[in-house]
């Protein structure tokens, strides 16, 4: 069973055991966000049978969405490994996973618009994963472990994509991605050494700790997100940033997918994180039914995520 299906099977088993828990019900909504991405595979396969179909951008959007949901699912998986003894999820881990999840609805819509009318996706490429969330104090070991787990899982996902592209377009089409990921894996090995030292109870300098965090996020996870898009549209990530962090970053930056048309504006109300539709979202080829579905999905995800950790603090026990 592929990681995507296995991961959702594990989450589903946990959800079934505690279906009356409102927190788990919120997580069920997050799980549906990921399920929407996986369902796009069938839609893309069906579109490939149409004569003259141009699905390059649709595949690129899908590759980005598939990578991001792999990140997010891997970040929260640790909470469900043993439903009888739920593990602590650091607040920073939740915030980072939320950032990934909130990028997905726009990408799902973009894939479907591209399938219907090539060139109408409306989301700028390359897709960025957003800045690395940083909160005061040293990054928890659990968060480093979540990033390492995401790196290991996405290696399987992008590895499968490499083989598909190689079969479709030849070895030359995957050379750049393979070389980039070779460098990323070297950085992961360096960060893994820091985790090994921490788990052994060794004292690790603050600088090495921060370097491991940066390596995992910008050197590994970001590299895989770019490689996934580059495989489908060579040259897409040529000028992509190597990091989105600077000294003036806010503690909790809001994810904002870059769109070619005005996008939904975030609404931070007492009910959590939601969206209000901005003007111009319904462009050519974007019907009212799709608009309603996209808005409904965005609001569903926003409400679920906003209420999930609304209590603040240093983390939450599930």
pLDDT digits (tens, 9 = 90+) for 78-103: 766 776 776 777 888 888 988 898 89
Q: Which two tokens stand for residue 60?
A: 């690129």
Where do the domains of the chain lie? 3-138+233-317
Give residue 26's pLDDT band: very low, low, confident or very high (50, 70, 90). low
Q: Taking the CA of residue 180 as centre, how many other CA atoms within 13 Å lie in the half-sphere pointing to its CB?
A: 26
Structure confidence at residue 213 (pLDDT): 93
Mean pLDDT over residues 60-70, rounded? 96
pLDDT at 220 over 60: yes
Which among 260, 234, 231 has a CA at the least distance from the CA of 113?
260
* pLDDT (mean) for 53-75: 94
Length of the chain: 318
pLDDT at 119 over 60: yes
Is 70 exceeded by the pLDDT of residue 147? yes
pLDDT at 258: 55
Per residue in 157-210, pLDDT (tens digit) is 999 999 999 998 999 999 989 999 999 999 999 999 999 999 999 999 988 989
The band of 293, judged by pLDDT with boundaries at 50, 70 and 90, is very low
List the single range of 4-18, 101-115, 260-274, 301-315 with lowest mean pLDDT: 260-274
pLDDT of residue 62: 96
pLDDT for 125 equals 96
Helix or strand run (H / E) with residue 272: strand 272-276
Q: Which position has the token pair 């929260």?
A: 76
Q: Is 130 left (phi over 0), alpha (psi -120 to 50) or beta?
A: left
**Burial, 203: exposed, middle or buried (Cβ in 10 Å; 0-12, 13-18, 19+)?**
exposed
* Torsion angles phi and psi, residue 316, rounded to 5: -150, 145
d(CA 145, CA 196) in angstroms, rounded, equals 10
**Mean pLDDT, to the nearest integer, of 239-257?**
63
- pLDDT at residue 259, rounded to an integer: 54
pLDDT on residue 32: 72
Asked if 91 contacts 83 with a C-beta cutoff of 8 angstroms, the reply is no
Asked if 139 contacts 200 with a C-beta cutoff of 8 angstroms, the reply is no
Q: What are phi and psi of 273, to 5 degrees?
A: -95, 115
Banded model confidence at residue 77, pLDDT cuts 50, 70, 90: confident
What percent of the chain lies above the pLDDT cut of 90? 48
d(CA 189, CA 184): 9
pLDDT(277) > 60? no
The pLDDT confidence band at residue 74, using thresholds 50, 70 and 90, is: very high
pTM to 2 decimal places:
0.71
Tokens in use for 180?
């980039």
The confidence band for 153, taking pLDDT boundaries of 50, 70 and 90, is very high
18 band by pLDDT with thresholds 50, 70 and 90: very low
Average pLDDT over residues 279-304: 41
Mean per-residue pLDDT over the chain, rounded: 75
């Amino acid at each position: 069973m592929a990681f995507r299906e296995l991961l959702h099977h594990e989450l589903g088993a946990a959800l079934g055991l505690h279906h009356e828990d409102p927190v788990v019900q919120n997580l069920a909504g997050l799980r549906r966000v990921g399920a929407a991405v996986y369902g796009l595979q069938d839609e893309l396969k069906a579109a490939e049978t149409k004569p003259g179909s141009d699905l390059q951008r649709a595949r690129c959007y899908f590759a980005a969405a598939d990578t991001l949901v792999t990140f997010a699912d891997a970040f929260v998986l640790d909470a469900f490994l043993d439903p009888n003894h739920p593990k602590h999820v650091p607040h920073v881990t939740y915030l980072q996973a939320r950032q990934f999840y909130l990028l997905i609805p726009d990408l799902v819509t973009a894939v479907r618009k591209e399938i219907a009318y090539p060139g109408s996706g409306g989301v700028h490429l390359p897709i960025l994963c957003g800045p690395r969330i940083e909160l005061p104090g040293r990054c928890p070991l659990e968060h480093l472990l979540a990033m390492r787990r995401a790196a290991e899982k996405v290696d399987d996902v992008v590895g499968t994509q490499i083989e598909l592209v190689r079969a479709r377009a030849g070895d030359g089409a995957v050379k750049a991605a393979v070389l980039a990921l070779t460098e990323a894996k070297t950085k992961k090995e360096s960060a893994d050494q820091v985790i090994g030292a921490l788990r052994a109870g060794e004292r690790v300098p603050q600088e090495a700790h921060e370097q491991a965090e940066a390596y995992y996020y910008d050197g590994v996870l970001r590299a895989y997100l770019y490689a996934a898009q580059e495989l489908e549209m060579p040259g897409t990530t040529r000028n992509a940033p190597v990091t989105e962090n600077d000294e003036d970053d806010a503690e909790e930056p809001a994810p904002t997918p870059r769109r070619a048309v005005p996008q939904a504006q975030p609404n931070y109300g007492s009910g959590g994180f939601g969206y209000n539709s901005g003007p111009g979202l319904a462009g050519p080829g974007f019907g009212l039914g799709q608009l309603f579905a996209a808005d409904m999905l965005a609001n569903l995800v926003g409400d679920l995520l906003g209420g999930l950790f609304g209590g603040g603090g240093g983390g939450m026990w599930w």
